[in-house]
Chain A
Amino acid sequence: MPPYTLPFEKPIQELERRLQDLRAFSESQNIDVSLELSELEKKIAETRRNIYTRLTAWDKVQIARHTGRPYTLDYISECFTDFVELHGDRAFMDDRAIVGGFATLDTERVMVIGTQKGRDVRSNVERNFGMAYPEGYRKAMRLMRTAAKFRLPVLTFIDTAGAYPGVGGEERHIAEAIAVNLRDMSLLPVPVVVTVIGEGGSGGALGIGVGDRILILEHAYYSVISPEGCAAILWKDRAFANKAAEALKLTATDLLKAGLVDEIVPEPLGGAHTDLKAMAATLKQRLLGSLRELKLVPPDLLLERRYAKFRAFGVFEHEPSPPPDAAAQGQA
């Protein structure tokens, strides 16, 4: 069990501390407290269930950012076999914030691509905190074209705070790199299954997020802007991030309700970081389910459906009479 670091887990942390104290006491005094121990363990389980069934949007954002949370490479090693990593965008560099390569899921050969965070200072420097440069998106697109050439389905994993906002990225046109991916993924003639496994940070997430099925882990989030960024703009204070998180409707449940994702992948109680093996097993089954359905769809129909899926996103109303200005312009 990883150490508790999230503020809303304090009650569990407190109970666990009491449990340890009681155990130590019973050992040192040689007194049987097994009844008390089991009561306390029951209480811990109950508290955890209570907390995890009543998480706020902001709580979920923090779980999605938990440093113990499984990352793309964890799922690649747990769910897949025979991963052959491929590197580089063939133009400028190998962006380590996006990993990808051939892999086998059960008996299915696929191309797997995902954003990759680091866990400590060194790996975070290597992975640039999971925030890709333009080269990351171009590498991803190159791998997708390779996949299409060999008729391999594409599975992408999204876990990024966003594309990296830096001078170099702007000089090499990060916006264009993302735009090209959105355009070309919409016409990629193989099944594409997208899974948001942690943070779905805006355009940087969407840059590998166009597909036939969009899955999201129970405590992952996907948002147009970070709660902090939204709070800074609309509340003039980043401290209101919890309110912004609520307002943005960024949780898996909100997104499913709005029809923006297809499926929520349940996490073990306490979050994916408490049980990687169980999480990976569930995810693997869900991915295989989507994959085996999509493999039966002919490429033309697949693309028609993919287009229709994204085409349907949008909520607006009709207001019949044009305002006077527009009417005047119409005659001009």
Chain B
Amino acid sequence: MRLFGGKKYSTIKVRKKDLPAGLWVKCPGCAEIVYKHEIESGVGVCPKCRHHFQIGWQARLASLVEQGTFEEIDADLVSADPLDFKGQSTYVSKMQDARRKTGMRDAVVCGLAAIGPVRVAIGVMDFAFMGGSMGSVVGEKVTRLVERGTRDRLPVIVICSSGGARMYEGMLSLMQMAKTSAAVARHSRAGLPFITVLTHPTTAGVMASYASLGDVIIAEPGALIGFAGPRVIRETTREEVPPGFQRSDFVLKHGLVDMIVPRPELKPTLLRLLGYMCNLPAGQTPAPAPVEAQPDSYAGPGHVSS
């Protein structure tokens, strides 16, 4: 079903104060006011300008894996507070807020699923949970996912979105970079496919570990991808950053990512890649239509933010 193609866009010019809270969202791409339901029930792409909103893990999974095939693993892992971290606010209170706000237990959801005929191990990071930051739980879950892939000889796909290592867990967070990368090394040594999808934003500690290690690296349109944030660069070096710096087009041009894939094309693209990387018989991989929308039940309490 083409949800957006046939009907009139639900975009109208209205002043912000006239909007009932929560029903509408201003698209940061084109500044149009968009009916929030349209974004949430679809794959989170602005019907007007194709801006890619950040989407929650449920919506992401729904857009990628076959219905009913996702089997979550390691859902029981939750963060401890190993440093007994106390700043302006404590880690424990930050964690409680994030859990309440998102209904998630940490910033990544992992499991086994089918994409078309291909069984995969898939991890989805969600920026809404503490900026997708990687502490012990994210590192452990990603490592277990990759190890599961190695053990069961499965391709591993990670949809990345992260501001970097989680400083509340100090050096334990930094070491997750080494831990996850070592797991990827063994998966790779076994000749298995590893695909990373870099969504807005993928930076710092996650970018400097597994996100950069895909055999194929895909970027979503307009994503911020890099190591240091533009503000840090400006403050440290007093260099002006060029327009479009660290955005998907920039990193494609500079040779980091293999391709930029709009969200509706992501699933068919993954399938085509898996056909080659799993060396499936040619011509037998079904090529499903682009994914524009899924039944509402998938969207769940998913959140949309710019």
Contacts and interface: CB of A to CB of B under 8 A. Distances in A.
Contact of A260 (B167, B171, B185, B203): B171
B218 to A, nearest CB: 15
Interface centre among B72, B83, B176, B178 (most CB of A within 10 A): B178
A330 B173 CA distance: 28
A202 B134 CA distance: 14
Interface string A282-305: 000000000000000000000000
Contacts of A45: none
Contact of B167 (A169, A187, A225, A255): A225
B170 A250 contact: yes
B68 interface: yes
A210 B212 CA distance: 17
Interface residues of B, number: 82
Interface in A190-205: 202-203
Interface in A172-203: 172-176, 178-180, 182-184, 186-187, 202-203
Nearest to B297: A332
A244 interface: yes
Nearest to A162: B228
Given A169-B227, A182-B209, A332 B298 contact: yes
Contacts of A230: 87, 167
B152 to A, nearest CB: 18
Interface residues of A, number: 68
B61 A329 contact: yes
Contacts of A144: none
A249 B83 contact: yes
Contact of A165 (B78, B167, B213, B232): B232
Nearest to A137: B208
A237 B69 CA distance: 48
A319 B242 contact: no
B165 interface: yes
Interface of A: 163-167, 169-176, 178-180, 182-184, 186-187, 202-203, 206-207, 209-210, 222-225, 229-230, 233-236, 243-244, 247-250, 255, 258, 260, 306-307, 310-311, 313-320, 322-326, 328-332
Interface of B: 58, 61-62, 67-68, 70-72, 75-80, 82-83, 85-89, 99, 103-105, 109, 136-137, 139-140, 143, 165, 167, 169-179, 181-186, 188-189, 203-205, 207-213, 226-228, 232-233, 236-237, 239, 241-242, 245-246, 251, 254-256, 297-298, 300-301
6 nearest CB pairs, A to B: A165-B228, A186-B182, A182-B181, A314-B136, A234-B87, A179-B212
6 contacts: A182-B182, A187-B186, A223-B170, A230-B87, A255-B171, A322-B75
